[in-house]
Every structure is written in structure tokens, then in C-alpha cells.
Chain A
Amino acid sequence: MAEAHPVGFQWVMEAKKRGAKVFHVDPRFTRTSALADTYLPIRAGTDIALLGGVVRYILENELDFREYVLAYTNAATIITDQFADTEDLDGLFSGYDPERYSYDQGSWKYQGHEQQRESEDTAKERETAAGLRHESHGMPVAATTQRDETLQHPRCVYQILKRHFSRYTPEMVSRICGIPVEKFEELARAWTENSGRERTGALVYSVGWTQHSVGVQYIRTGAIIQTLLGNMGRPGGGVLALRGHASIQGSTDIPTLFNLLPGYLPMPHHADHPTFDEWVDSIRHPGQKGFWGNSRAYAASLLKAYWGDAATPENDFCYGYLPRMTGDHGTYQQVLNMINGKVKGYFLLGQNPAVGSAHGRAQRLGMANLDWLVVRDLFMIESATFWRNSPEIATGEIVTEECRTEVFFLPAASHVEKEGTFTQTQRLLQWREKAVDPPGDCRSELWFFYHLGRVLREKLAGSTKPRDRALLDLAWDYPTHGPEAEPSAEAVLKEINGYEVATGRPLGGFPEAKDDGSTAVGCWIYSGVYADGVNQAARRKSRHEQDWVAPEWGWAWPANRRILYNRASADPEGRPWSERKKYVWWDPDKGAWTGYDVPDFEKTKPPSYRPPDGASGTEGLAGDDPFVMQGDGKAWLYAPTGVLDGPLPTHYEPAESPVRNPLYGQQANPTRKVYTHPVNRMNPSPPEPHSQVFPYVFTVSRLTEHHTAGGMSRTVPRLAELQPALFVEVSPELAGEVGLAHLGWAHLVSGRAVIEARVLVTDRLTPLRVDGRTIHQVWLPYHFGSEGLVTGDTVNDLFGITLDPNVLIQESKVGTCDVRPGRRPTGPALLDLVADYQRRAGMTPDRRVPIVTTGAASEAHERTAGGARDGGGDA
């Protein structure tokens, strides 16, 4: 955190000043470790084992915050007897389909819900990264559940959890992670001792956590701990993601993602969502509790914002105009399609995949096989110059004179040359004022896309093709200003906030959204950012003039709420759990919820409220159901549906690992997304032979002095001089084993590429004792490329492409490689070296990576919900 988010780290230091104990878990000793009270070196890719160990520690010693767990989580909920755990199936859950490498979730359900089958085709859900939808809400379950408040029922979530994690003993944690038992126990003790009624503990992760083939389950495990300890929805608690880009939160809220529409509305699927109603119901889930009950209004209002007057209730608000998904259209699938010549044109908008994405070679080969490429950036980045300056030029894989890709480089406007909002990592929108005009041809994306749309519409004017209607009917009349005709960002923000179609009055919040076409809302969760016609995101009331929650600085979605689910900061009766930790509470005199923050609850719904039978939507939520976006108003320790790789997290080895999974026969995530393609050969891992060809674990991350792919730091003298070269950090022990000298050269070889780096031999890295073996890890920063003031090989070239099944994010934080002293070969000799390694490791082009590595697969297949399945929901 000190390494990649130094300014955020000031708050950790504040906490430390006040006596907080800081633990840091990282494969390498970083600037954060230097300031932490305890540092735990861990083998990359084993966090679930560590966190699972903590879960076990909590349950075995009954250290959970019982009152909280009983009232606010599904710990007491009883699960169907069809469910079989990894404990029974050697690392698989019931319902596994070894042909499709996916689960039928029918056997995971709550007791009595077996027959609800919204979307059991998890193979399809994986293709469409359905998991991402849950960024703002849980998957559906019916309101009422069977519970055992004593937590003794063998199939209640609490007992299932206990059994599932029973294997994660301190000794097992040590075997898997390489963390000594005492260290682990110190962590578990401190975490539990500092949670409960009087104290809270916070879990902070950097989004490297998401870059694993089990990334979502990493975060699930953290959430389970924080829920068991009562650290959710309370000040000083939570699971905090340190996101690495100024508006990466915003770019999923208002997504530029293939499977999402603004506000986490799903992109329609050709088979599941033929009609508007079916699409809306798939979001709304009739009969479900919680705020998604109104999704019809959000959906209708979005389409109204898109197609304006053309969108009417009669024509389903032009629902028909929306393109349909048929499967995986993610960025990595796209790249492989590029290599196969299926993609004509490619836009890169402030993005540098040649350096920043996994398997840089595949990225560049893909770009070299396009008809045209548009790059919009501040600087000349590697992705714009692959045709003249890339490793493939040196190896002869790309020949400039034979590369047909037509490249447009359009200079972009910087953050001070345009106005607009960023959404930072805690969902806070902050408006930026424009300071100066952009120089020369530099333009904002707002300008580019507005005018691109204008030109397209002009060119299509008069077209009779049905396909062009969507463009021609588009509501695309934004006011512009200035000599360059810059569109008004405030006008766009107003549309995002939503307004009354008749009067143009900006909405005060999403409750005002209507499903009859009388309102247009660009992104329902952002509704309220322009309440009362005031740009709430531009508020800059000094921290000195308001309390510590600072509600009048910027605007946080939803409804300017700073801590989600903050109803949980009060006990079921609505009283603060403790005076020290009071945040939001029920005021019986006023008959309303009050506190420091905007209550994440209906303002006047008393704690005593109990829903009438059959109530759904918000009425369905009881006065003590704090998790208002969840189908049952409870925090889920066990996910009966929605998480594609299991209702509970399980430790699986990374896709590339030198270690056989000590926990189960199932080596790696059985549902991970694998692409079998000649360019994408994965290094062998046990139980496959030859894994010793790539004996070392490598992991990559950021340096304080640089930013992601380096496009905004290697080009900036002030930063370039601070970290002027690519280096690899190795432990003294590995340096000795391989024969590396400080400041000398080393090269790293994977099944895809070879890169070279200067060597830093440092005591900050340590070998680990894993399952009786000594495992060496090396670390590199991934900022370097061939352009800019300081250059170096691209570390991400080493990675292959394997994705998390829930969100299709690649595993690019851990891989295996060999480390050799000296500089790498150049030209064709480099390809020969890789080929030699592929030969030694048996990585033949036709080799298929074994997904299932346990005999229990067939049994798991039997254990489906009555074996019944529906093929693809061609309803």
C-alpha cells in the first residue's frame, strides 16, 4: 500500500500512531513491509489457504462476533442435502460437469429453494463474466429461508463452513503458503482480538488479488472473515480494494465492458434475453427482496437516455437495438480473434496492452494482424509503435514492410485540459475543473467520440438499413462550446444522473426513476450526483469545515453513502454496537435512522419492521436486514448461487505452479477459463510431468515511482530518473543457486517468452519452505517497455492467458519460469531458446492442459440437483 498508494497509506500510519497493529502479507518485502509491525512472506497464489486458515481459527475457537453473525449473515441458513463439499469430492463441489468444466449450482441451494433455477448454465455465465454483475448486488434467492438459530444443524452454513475449512490448520497453511506456524498464529490472534463490539479490523488488498485464476474467491474469503468478525458496514472495518487507476471504479460503474451496461445492468444474451421483459426479469427476479426490485425502471430509463424520443413503452424502449452476447467477447478472446484475423479495427483509449496486458507477444501479434488501429494517448506508447519497435521486430515475427495494420495515433487531452468526473476507489465521484486548453491536436475522449458519432450519423443519414436505426435514433445532441466544439461534460453528467423527460428536471436519486418512459437515467446508481441541478461531484467544502466523514466533498454512489451496508454498524435493535464505533443508528424519537453517514437503509423503516408474507422488493426487507442489495438481506458466508467456482472458497494452486496442491487432488481451479491456442502454451504444473523445467515462481507488481504500463511515468523525466531500469529482485539464496551478481544481468524464461533484467540481490526476498521443498520466488516491476525515456523488456510477456471464471480477469500475478545468468539471446536465437524449453517441458502445440486432476469428477457430476439440467434456457 505504501508502495502503490502512498497517500492512502497516510491513514494506516494514523491508525498505527493510535496503536493499531499492521500486518503485511506479500511475496516480497516492500516499502509497506518496512513500516508494518509484522511482515509475512507468502508464496504467490496461496492467499486463500492463509485466509482459510484464519476462518478455521475463528470457527474452531468460536471467536466470531456471534450476535452479528446470527442477525446479519446467512450462518444459520440451512443448505439442501444435495450439496457435497470439496471435503467429500477431493477438491470439487457437487454439480461439476467434467465436459464443460463448470458447475450446475442446483445442489448448492438453500433448503427449500432447490426448484428455483434462474440460470444454472454456469458455463454460459462464465463466458459472459456474469460475476461482474454482482459488483453492486448479490445473485437472487427467495426471501424466506430455513434457519437454525442455534447453528447446530449439520447442514446450516455455519457447520458447513466449519467442516469445509477444517483442513486449513496452521500446519497446512505453513505447508501451502510457506508461512511459519507462529507467524500465522500471530496474525490470526491479532485479527480476532481486534474485532468485535468495541473494535474493528480492516482488510486492505491491492487489485493484484483479482489477477488470479481464483481471484473472486480470494476476495470472498476475505469477506467471510470480515463478516464472521463483524467488521462489515462498520467504521474502521470492511474489505478495501486499492484500485490502481484514477477512474477504474467508474469504468465498471459506467462500464466500457462487453457484458455490462451502465449501473451493472447486464448486456443482453441472445438466448436468455430475447425480449425486454425477460431481460428485465432476469435482473429483477420477481419475488426477490431488496433494491433490485425496481430494475425495470432502471432499465427503461437507461434505454430512454440512449434513444430518447425513439424509445417508447410500445417498442420496449428500443430494446431491440441492443447488440447481443453469444459467449465470451472479452479482451483476451478478442486478441486471439485478432491473431486469427477475425477483427478488423481496434481502438486503444489510454491503454497500452502491448505492455500492460498478459502475454504481450500475443497482444502485439494480434495488433499486427488488424486492418486498422486507433491509438489515443498522451504519449507515443508501445502499442502504437509495435510495427517498428517491438521484440517481434527483432525476432522477425513482425516485419514492418509486411505488416498491413493501418495506425492512427491521436493525441489525447490530459486531466487538466478537460473537465469531468473520476470515481475513486471508494466510489467517490470528484469533478475536475479544466485548467487549460489542450495543445495542438490533443482532444478529450468526449470530443473524439461525440464528433465521431456526429460524423457517423452524417454519413448514414438517409440510410434505410435497419442496422443503422440504432445510430440514427441515438439521442446525440449534446451542447458544445469553444472553438473546438468541445461537448459539455456537465450535460453528459446530467444525463447520467437522469432527468424527467417532460420537464428536464434532474432526478434527486434512483428511487425517482420510472419504468414508463417518463424518466431518462444514464446510470441509475449515479442518480443524485446532479440532484437539484447542482453538480454534487464538484463540491469542495474543506475538510476543516466538516466532520470526519466529510459528506460534502464530492459525491459517493449510491446516494452519497460513504460506507455501504452501514445499517450493520448498529445492532438489530438499531443501537450502536458500541460508543467507540457508533456510525449510523435508529433514533426512536425522530422515528428515523440517523448518524454520521447517509444511512444505507430506508430512512424511516424501524428495526422492528417485519415484512408481510409474500412481500418482495424493498418491503421484503426486515428492519434488521442490513445487506439491502442481497436477495435475503443477509451477508453471505456461503453463496448458494452466483459464484461460478463454488459456494465457498477453496485453495487451488495457480494455473502455473511448481507445487502439487497439498490440499486436494484437484490441482487448480476446475472452472478456470483456458484458451487452447498455439501462442498460448501454459507451463506444465504437477501432476503433469516436466514442471521442474520452470522451477521458480515469479510475481510482478508496481513500484511507487512508476504507473502500470509506464505510459504516464517512463515518459516523465521526474519519475523516469527515480527508477531508470528494469530489474529483478532475487534472494541471496537464489543468487547463489543460479550464480547471479548484484547489478549483473539475468534472463527469465517461460513457455512464451524470454526477458532480461538487471539483478538486485537483496535480503528483502526469501526462499520459502513449501510442502517440504524450498521454493524460490523472484519479483519484477511490470512498468517497462521499448518506448519512453527509460526502457526495458516487458515482463508481462512471460505470462500466458488463464482467466478467473467469474470475471474473466487473467492470472498475471503468478507464474513459473527459469532464471539464468547473463543477457538473453537476441533475434531468432531467442525463439530457439523458447522452443528448446517448450520441447523439454513437453509443451507441444496440440497439448491440452489437464483441467480435472482428481478421480472424484464423475462422482461430483452425479451429485447434481437430481441430475436435472436445462440445456441453455431456450425459453
Chain B
Amino acid sequence: MSPDRPAVGDLFRRFRERLAVEGPARPGEHGGHAPKAGRNGRRRGGGGEQLNVPPVEFTSYYGRPILKAPVWKWDIAAYLFSGGLAAGSSLLAAGGQLTGRPALRRAGRVTSLAAVSASTFFLIHDLGKPARFHHMLRVAKLTSPMSMGTWILSAFGPAAGVAAVAETAPRLPEHGLLGLGRKLLPPAGNAAGLLAAVTAPALATYTGVLLADTAVPSWHEAYPELPVIFAGSALASGAGVGLLAAPTGEAGPARRLAVAGAALELWGSHRVENRLGLLSEPYATGTAGKLLRAGRALTAAGVAGALAGRRSRMLSALSGGALLAASVCTRFGIFHGGVASARDPKYTVVPQRERAQRRAGQQPHVNGPGAGPNGG
């Protein structure tokens, strides 16, 4: 070898040391394979540390994710919110309708229609082939929450629509064809409003199943809580609308709804952030962690404001806004938490490995070949 070279082995030792320091993924400088830094088993974003999950050991094919992360974009998270909002506000509307609180009714019905229209837009917009959205109506599959949701939405949507349109009745002329409408719309609206209200809880909670019925570890394992969280979040957002729209005199039920919703939501999200062990980690770390923590804070603030602001229209409105924002944060938080859990193979391998070992009767897991038929 050329004389200007260090002794055999030196460079290799340096190479290994450098590698140990830098972490090995350094092909970025050649061939343009920039490594996506940051998603790297041991690193944990802000807020994670307090959890103190010990670094877990697992193997994976070149460390690549085993699962395909959801291809759903922001609009599905937005749909989770808008769907819940539609459901919550239609309940609010029905309540207002039955207990003679026109402001609540009106606000509820209008919001409900707006929200359900937005939902439909989000759903179609997220499709790879939007022009084929109607293929959703080919089948009715009990095994597919999305199919079920489609049918629920197709029941709820028109009802919410009619109910909202009915609110225009007072503005119609006394006579003529439209006059007929002026007479007929209110009863139709009431009927539709009640129909919407009946389907509303289904609309609000099926989305929990929609996320849970996947291989995404942190979604699936959270299946007992997700519907509760989403129900609560829906109620809270509905209440938020009430607080924003209704005069303090009518806002009583909204305040109580806010409390109830917040209770369900907080209980649920507390559970998923603690009950799932390793799979709680994605909810406590990174974007999801930030969003969920923000959601909690906003909910608390919203409820407090709602209770404190009995007399103040302004405070009520603020707390209503807070509740709506809280609902948004919660939905996006849950969404991102799941996506993160699908992207890191450890959330796939470790729990399954532990499950397999439990089944195998606590045999110590020996990894790698040469360790016998089962061990490797």
C-alpha cells in the first residue's frame, strides 16, 4: 500500500468511532439519499421525556416501517372535527327546538348543515379518485366503518339540510307558492331536525371506530376510548356553537353540554395517554403530544369560562370558541398520534413480540438464528 497511509486498522477504528458519534445514516452526502433525520428509535420530541419509557430493543428490515402509514391527509382529521361538530350542533338544535330555545335551534341547524357539507367535501377531497365517490354506495358493509359512515351521513345530511332550510321560513312571503313553503317548512324542519338528532350520536361516534378499525397500533389499541373521546369532543364543539350563538339566557344547556362533553373527552384522552403503555407514547410525544396537551388546556379553559360566564355574553362566546378549538386540537392530536405509531416499526414489533411471548408462556425471547427451532 502507498507509504502516505496510516497503519492498517487506524482508519477503520476512526471510521467506527466517527460512526458511533454521528450515528450511521450518513449517505446524504453521496447520491442524494438524504436520510430523514429525527425519526430514530431513541429520539423523543418534547414532552416525551416525562413519560420515561425506556428505550426498547427491536429489529426490523433495515429499520424500515413494517406498516404503511395512513395516506389520509389533513382533511380526514378535519372531517373528524366537522362531523362531530355537525352531530353536536344538531343535538343542540333539536334540544333548542323541543325546549323552545329558537336561538340555539337556529344556530344549531345552520352550523350542522355547514359542518356536514364541509364533512362531505373533506371526504371526497381526500379520495385518490374523487370522481368515483359514489362507488361508496355500491355496497353496505357492516365490516367497513367507512361504509357504515357513508350511509349514516347520507341519512343525516339531507335531514340536517331540510332542518336548516326550514329556518328560512320566516323570511318567505306570506302568499303564493313560497307562502305554502312558509307554512309547510317549519313542521318539516322540526321532523328533519329530530331525525338528524337521532342519527347524530352515530355520526359522532362511528369515526372512533373508523380510526380504531385499522392496523395502526395506537389507534387500534385505543378502540375502547376513541368513540368516547369523539362523542365528548362532538358535544363540546356543539356546546361551543351554542355558547357563541345563543344569548346568555338560552345558553344554559350549552354550558351543561360543555361540561358533559369535556368530561367524556378528558377522561378518554387521559386513558389513551396512559393505559396503552408503549402505544401511549405517540400521543404524548411530537405533534400529537403538543396538540392533545393544547386540547386539554383549551377544554379546561372553555368549561371554566362557560361556567363562570353565565352573565357575560363575551366570556361565553370566548369559552365557546375555546371549546371548538379544543375539539379541533383533540381530533388532529389523535390523528397524528396514530400516524406516528404506524411510521415507527417499534410500535408494531414490540407489542406483538410481547403478545407472542405471553402466548408462548413467558419463554425468554431469544432473537436470531442458531438458537433452536423457535428461537431463531
A732 touching B12 by the CB < 8 A rule? yes
**Counting CB contacts under 8 A, is A693 at the interface?**
yes
The answer to whether residues A736 and B1 also contact, given A743-B30, A758-B30 and a CB cut-off of 8 A, is no
CA distance A806 to B26 in the complex (A): 50
CA distance A692 to B12 in the complex (A): 21
B2 touching A695 by the CB < 8 A rule? yes
Contacts of A203 in B (CB 8 A): none
Comparing B3-11, B221-229, B243-251, B337-345, the segment that makes contact with chain A is B3-11
What per-residue 1/0 map shows which CB atoms of B1-41 lie under 8 Å from chain A? 11001001101111110000000001101110100000000
A818 touching B2 by the CB < 8 A rule? yes
CA distance A735 to B12 in the complex (A): 7
What per-residue 1/0 map shows which CB atoms of A736-747 lie under 8 Å from chain B? 111101111100
B2 touching A739 by the CB < 8 A rule? no
CA distance A693 to B1 in the complex (A): 6
A695-B1, A725-B31 provided; 20 other pairs, C-beta below 8 A?
A: A693-B2, A695-B2, A732-B12, A735-B12, A735-B15, A736-B9, A737-B1, A737-B5, A738-B5, A739-B11, A739-B14, A739-B15, A741-B15, A742-B27, A743-B33, A744-B30, A758-B30, A758-B31, A774-B8, A818-B2
Minimum CB–CB distance for B10 against chain A, Å: 8
Other-chain contact of B15, A692, A736, A758 (Cβ < 8 Å) = A736
**Counting CB contacts under 8 A, is A445 at the interface?**
no
**Counting CB contacts under 8 A, is A619 at the interface?**
no
**Counting CB contacts under 8 A, is A733 at the interface?**
yes
Interface size on B, residues (CB 8 A): 17
A738 touching B30 by the CB < 8 A rule? no
What per-residue 1/0 map shows which CB atoms of A667-693 lie under 8 Å from chain B? 000000000000000000000000011
CA distance A306 to B29 in the complex (A): 62
Minimum CB–CB distance for A727 against chain B, Å: 10
B2 touching A736 by the CB < 8 A rule? no
In A710-744, the 8 Å CB interface with B consists of 725, 732-733, 735-739, 741-744
Contacts of B15 in A (CB 8 A): 735-736, 739, 741
CA distance A280 to B279 in the complex (A): 87
CA distance A742 to B14 in the complex (A): 14
CA distance A742 to B33 in the complex (A): 12
For residue B26, which residue of chain A has the nearest CB? Answer: A741
The answer to whether residues A737 and B2 also contact, given A743-B33, A744-B27 and a CB cut-off of 8 A, is no
Interface residues in chain B, defined as those with a beta carbon under 8 Å from any beta carbon in chain A: 1-2, 5, 8-9, 11-16, 26-27, 29-31, 33
CA distance A738 to B6 in the complex (A): 9
Minimum CB–CB distance for A215 against chain B, Å: 29
In A454-470, the 8 Å CB interface with B consists of none
Minimum CB–CB distance for A738 against chain B, Å: 7
Q: Top 7 closest A-B pairs, CB basis?
A: A736-B12, A743-B27, A739-B11, A695-B1, A744-B30, A737-B8, A736-B11
Minimum CB–CB distance for B16 against chain A, Å: 8
CA distance A695 to B33 in the complex (A): 32
Other-chain contact of B12, A733, A743, A745 (Cβ < 8 Å) = A733
Contacts of A693 in B (CB 8 A): 2
A737 touching B12 by the CB < 8 A rule? yes
B9 touching A737 by the CB < 8 A rule? yes
Minimum CB–CB distance for A631 against chain B, Å: 51
Other-chain contact of B13, A725, A736, A738, A818 (Cβ < 8 Å) = A736
Contacts of A745 in B (CB 8 A): 30
Contacts of B30 in A (CB 8 A): 743-745, 758
6 examples of A-B residue contacts, CB within 8 angstroms: A692-B1, A725-B31, A733-B12, A736-B16, A738-B11, A745-B30
CA distance A745 to B2 in the complex (A): 19
Contacts of B14 in A (CB 8 A): 739
Contacts of A742 in B (CB 8 A): 27
Minimum CB–CB distance for B203 against chain A, Å: 46
CA distance A693 to B31 in the complex (A): 29
For residue B13, which residue of chain A has the nearest CB? Answer: A736
Contacts of B13 in A (CB 8 A): 736
Contacts of B1 in A (CB 8 A): 692, 695, 737
Minimum CB–CB distance for B43 against chain A, Å: 22
Contacts of A736 in B (CB 8 A): 8-9, 11-13, 15-16
For residue B14, which residue of chain A has the nearest CB? Answer: A739
Contacts of B11 in A (CB 8 A): 736-739
Minimum CB–CB distance for A531 against chain B, Å: 56
CA distance A758 to B32 in the complex (A): 12
Minimum CB–CB distance for A748 against chain B, Å: 14
Contacts of A732 in B (CB 8 A): 12
CA distance A180 to B11 in the complex (A): 27
CA distance A692 to B1 in the complex (A): 6
Minimum CB–CB distance for A642 against chain B, Å: 42
Contacts of B16 in A (CB 8 A): 736
In A741-781, the 8 Å CB interface with B consists of 741-745, 758, 774
Contacts of B9 in A (CB 8 A): 736-737
CA distance A733 to B2 in the complex (A): 16
Minimum CB–CB distance for A690 against chain B, Å: 11
Contacts of A818 in B (CB 8 A): 2
CA distance A758 to B29 in the complex (A): 12
Scoring B1, B13, B26, B27 by chain A CB atoms within 10 A of each residue's CB, the highest score goes to B1
CA distance A733 to B16 in the complex (A): 12
CA distance A732 to B12 in the complex (A): 8
CA distance A725 to B2 in the complex (A): 28
CA distance A251 to B16 in the complex (A): 52
Minimum CB–CB distance for B30 against chain A, Å: 5
Minimum CB–CB distance for A745 against chain B, Å: 5
Minimum CB–CB distance for B73 against chain A, Å: 28
Contacts of B8 in A (CB 8 A): 736-737, 774
Contacts of A741 in B (CB 8 A): 15, 26
For residue A776, which residue of chain B has the nearest CB? Answer: B1
For residue B5, which residue of chain A has the nearest CB? Answer: A737
Minimum CB–CB distance for A684 against chain B, Å: 14
Contacts of A738 in B (CB 8 A): 5, 11
CA distance A737 to B8 in the complex (A): 5
Contacts of B5 in A (CB 8 A): 737-738
Contacts of B29 in A (CB 8 A): 744
CA distance A741 to B22 in the complex (A): 13
CA distance A742 to B30 in the complex (A): 10
Minimum CB–CB distance for B83 against chain A, Å: 42
CA distance A735 to B31 in the complex (A): 19
